[in-house]
Chain A
Amino acid sequence: DVKVTQSSRYLVKRTGEKVFLECVQDMDHENMFWYRQDPGLGLRLIYFSYDVKMKEKGDIPEGYSVSREKKERFSLILESASTNQTSMYLCASSSSVRTSGIYNEQFFGPGTRLTVL
């Protein structure tokens, strides 16, 4: 069974702290993504990576950075957490080849709900 796991389901941090969110996939997928989900705004792409050590900015990269040292692991870093980064963070992965008849099916982790006080 395909799986994307995220290191924490719930996280509470203080303003100014450095925060690490970890994501691991076991499907040997090339592509990995970090989104944030906010009510009424849907999913917004923060960063994505299409290969080890490669990264691309998404639509809202400000205040975030990422690291992909191994194919299966993609980390999201908040260098100095702020209250406006309180959100649900979703990690996803996808294959670069056509699988089950389609491209770009994304497989999601359960999400990390981050609260910054």
Chain B
Amino acid sequence: GEDVEQSLFLSVREGDSSVINCTYTDSSSTYLYWYKQEPGAGLQLLTYIFSNMDMKQDQRLTVLLNKKDKHLSLRIADTQTGDSAIYFCAESGGYQKVTFGTGTKLQVIP
């Protein structure tokens, strides 16, 4: 079945950039997503990219997609303490089901 892999933990200093990486196996993925989970809460969609794009920018967030290598990354510029959360990469082939990754816990050090 589909598989989505992420590193489990990332620590950065406040003001630095964070880069969270993800690899996926399903070559028919149509949509790729980044979700954010703050402590004690459910997941919330942060941003997404279509598989026919290679980059998407949204304020401090930049998503890069390398479809050949099935690699997705999320860059957060000027990381703030409020960005501390778990970030999930996810993919969907356009049907109802979405496959989520293992999640990367981002710790921002003041």
Contacts and interface: CB of A to CB of B under 8 A. Distances in A.
Contact of B41 (A40, A42, A102, A110): A110
Interface of B: 1, 4, 6, 8, 30-31, 33, 35, 40-45, 48, 88, 92, 94-103
B75 to A, nearest CB: 20
B102 A40 contact: yes
A42 B1 contact: no
Nearest to A110: B42
Nearest to A113: B40
A106 B45 contact: yes
B105 to A, nearest CB: 9
Contacts of B94: 103-104
A106 B31 contact: no
